[in-house]
């Protein structure tokens, strides 16, 4: 299992948080039903590398001063201007712990309906699922290679979801292929000729 080295954070002053961020670290919190919440910090580059390896919903181990805890990333905050991670929340888990996560929806294939001019409209870009960490997928693929114009894919159409629960109504639309957009041609304005005015002689 991928291991992320971390240190317990015992200082809570704003100046200390500023310092560890300036040093390229991320303050975080580890919490769970079987442990007390523990403030920690770890190297930002190592954290990003770990998430790329295990995926957004993957399980990894945090080594806190020699003590390892299996966790999943539940939430993180980023600074869009500096493009840095400023805080992360990690949930302590085991193989039987059920968690709820947002899973990205990917489309696979080319829709015949789109090739004919239809418009692919995706209503859901993420799907909320609940399951044990090992059973939650990194993404959900939706095959659109047979979708014609006016076809719709709903939650009920998803395959292979037996290992986790989907927290959506079965009838909820994931995506659809809409008919081509017809642009109305601008109507020409009718030109009304004004009658010629003839000046009468006095």
Cα separation, 195 vs 152, whole angstroms: 58
Residue ending a domain, among 25, 59, 94, is: 94
The pair phi, psi for residue 34, each rounded to 5°, is: -110, 15
64 alpha carbon, distance to own chain's centre: 28
Q: Is the pLDDT of residue 71 over 80?
A: yes
Among residues 169, 83, 99, the alpha carbon closest in space to that of 137 is found at: 99
17/32 same-domain check:
yes
Where in the sequence is the domain holding 124, given as residue range(s)? 100-178
E strand segments, the chain: 3-8, 25-32, 35-43, 59-64, 67-79, 84-92, 99-108, 119-122, 126-131, 139-143, 152-154, 165-166, 173-178
How many Å apart are CA 22 and CA 79, to the nearest integer?
A: 13
90 with 110, same domain?
no
Asked if residues 132 and 96 have their Cβ atoms less than 8 Å apart, the reply is yes
pTM attached to this predicted model: 0.68
22 and 52 share a domain? yes
Give residues with Cβ within 8 angstroms of 66, minimum separation 6. Answer: none
On whether both 89 and 105 belong to a single domain, the answer is no
Residue 199 clears pLDDT 80, i.e. is over it: no
Q: How many domains does the chain have?
A: 2
Give the best-scoring range by mean pLDDT among 36-50, 95-109, 156-170. 36-50
Q: pLDDT for 48-70, tens place per residue?
A: 999 999 888 888 999 999 999 99
Q: Is residue 201 part of a domain?
A: no
Q: Are residues 169 and 108 in the same domain?
A: yes
| Domain annotation covers residue 194 | no
Q: What is the pLDDT of residues 87-137, one digit of tens each?
A: 999 999 987 888 888 899 999 999 999 999 999 999 999 999 999 888 888
């Amino acid at each position: 299992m991928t291991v992320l080295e971390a240190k317990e954070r015992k200082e809570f002053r704003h100046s200390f948080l500023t310092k560890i961020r300036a040093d390229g670290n991320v303050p975080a919190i580890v919490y769970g039903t079987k442990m007390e919440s523990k403030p920690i910090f770890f190297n930002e580059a190592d954290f990003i590398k770990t998430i790329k390896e295990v995926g957004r919903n993957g399980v990894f181990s945090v080594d806190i001063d020699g003590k390892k805890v299996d966790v999943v990333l539940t939430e993180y905050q980023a600074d869009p201007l500096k493009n840095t991670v400023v805080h992360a929340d990690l949930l302590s888990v085991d193989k039987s712990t059920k968690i709820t996560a947002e899973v990205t929806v990917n489309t696979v294939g080319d829709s015949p309906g789109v090739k004919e001019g239809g418009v692919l409209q995706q209503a859901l870009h993420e799907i909320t699922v609940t399951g044990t960490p090992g059973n939650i997928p990194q993404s959900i693929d939706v095959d659109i290679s047979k979708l014609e114009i006016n076809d719709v894919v709903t939650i009920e159409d998803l395959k292979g979801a037996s290992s986790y629960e989907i927290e959506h109504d079965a009838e909820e639309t994931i995506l659809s292929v809409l008919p081509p957009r017809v642009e109305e041609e601008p109507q020409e304005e009718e030109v009304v000729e004004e009658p010629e005015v003839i000046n009468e002689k006095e």
